[in-house]
């Protein structure tokens, strides 16, 4: 079945540091890939997505590239801010008529001033 | 666009009582809604998929008689936790697919924190 593996946290960074959160997946077919962010006490918000190989999703300074050869979708940001502190979830939808999302376990990011 | 709300945001109930959680799509009609459960510091677990006007499809291991899901209209789905017990305490999140948007994208509500005492 489908699965998503992302690096375990928590991750603590200083403001303006570079961020990478690794995500790899296992899926049949050609999944769509997502990064969701969850701020404390809130639901999930879509951060970015990529729907086919070599696509790069980007939003709010975050980027992730769909790498089919390595089955990866790593999240990066060049300079994090305190406001980026949240839990980040990598997810996939395998398509083929199934609309279900499979989530990774989440990575908690804390950015300190 | 594509805003999903949940009510209540927090609820505390006594063991043995039932609790209803509402999930509404505010600016679109959602033919499909999803209900998730999230334990502390863990990922989201899909409980069921709800299609308007039909019975919900429950994931393996989810008790359909305990977690009653009703999707009576295109903008409202409800989750009722029947005869709640402390182990049902959790964060419940709903999501919905929005017509005209990328078909595999889901929009999430803010979640409901259920505490059973």
Chain A residues within 8 A of B110 when measuring between CB atoms = 42-43
Q: Are B33 and B26 in contact (CB under 8 A)?
A: no
Mean pLDDT calculated for residue range A42-63: 93
Q: Is A101 in contact with B106 (Cβ distance < 8 A)?
A: yes
Residue A95: pLDDT above 80? no
pLDDT at residue A43 in the model: 82
For A16-26, the pLDDT digits (tens) are 999 999 999 99
Is A49 close to B42, i.e. CB distance below 8 A?
no
Give B12-45 pLDDT, tens digit per residue: 999 999 999 999 999 888 888 999 998 877 788 9
What are the start-end ranges of the H helices in chain A? none
Q: What is the mean pLDDT of residues A49-65?
A: 96
Interface touch B102/A46, C-beta < 8 Å: no
Give pLDDT, residue A1.
83
Q: Compute how many other C-beta atoms are within 10 angstroms of the C-beta atom of residue A20.
A: 11
Say if residues B67 and B79 touch (Cβ distance below 8 Å): yes
Instruction: With cut-offs at 50, 70 and 90, classify the pLDDT of residue A96.
Output: low
* pLDDT for residue B63: 94
Label the pairing between strands B112-116 and B76-81.
unpaired
Tokens of A8: 């375990």
Q: Rounded CA gap, B101 and B14, in Å?
A: 40
Q: Which of B1, B4, B44 has the most A C-beta neighbours within 10 Å, making it the best mutation to test the interface with A?
A: B44
Say yes or no to pLDDT of A109 above 90.
Answer: yes
Q: Grade residue A97 by pLDDT with cuts at 50, 70 and 90.
A: low
CA distance A43 to chain B (A): 4
Mean pLDDT of A50-77: 96
Q: Which residue of A has its CA nearest to B37?
A: A43
Chain A neighbors of B109, CB-CB under 8 A = 43
Sites in chain B below the pLDDT cut of 50: none
Closest chain B C-alpha to A79 CA, distance in angstroms = 25
Q: Given this model, what pLDDT does residue B17 score? A: 97
């Amino acid at each position: 079945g489908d699965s998503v593996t992302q690096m375990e946290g928590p991750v603590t960074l200083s403001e303006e540091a570079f961020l990478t959160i690794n995500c790899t997946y296992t899926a049949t077919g050609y999944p769509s890939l997502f990064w969701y962010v969850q701020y404390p006490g809130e639901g999930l918000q879509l951060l970015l997505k990529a729907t086919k190989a070599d696509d790069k999703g980007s939003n709010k300074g975050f980027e992730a590239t769909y790498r089919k050869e390595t089955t990866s979708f790593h999240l990066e940001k060049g300079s994090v801010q305190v406001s980026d502190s949240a839990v980040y979830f990598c997810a996939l939808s395998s398509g083929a008529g199934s609309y279900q999302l499979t989530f990774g376990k989440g990575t908690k990011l804390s950015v300190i001033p | 666009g594509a805003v999903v709300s949940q009510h209540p945001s927090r609820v505390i109930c006594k063991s043995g009582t039932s609790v209803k959680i509402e999930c509404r799509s505010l600016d679109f009609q959602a033919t499909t809604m999803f209900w998730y459960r999230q334990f502390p510091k863990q990922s989201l677990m899909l409980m069921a998929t709800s299609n308007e006007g039909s019975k919900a499809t429950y994931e393996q291991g989810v008790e359909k008689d305990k977690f009653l899901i009703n999707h009576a209209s295109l903008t409202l789905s409800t989750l009722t936790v029947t005869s709640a017990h402390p182990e049902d305490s959790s964060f419940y999140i709903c999501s919905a697919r929005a017509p005209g948007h990328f078909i595999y994208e889901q929009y999430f509500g803010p979640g409901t924190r259920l505490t059973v005492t």
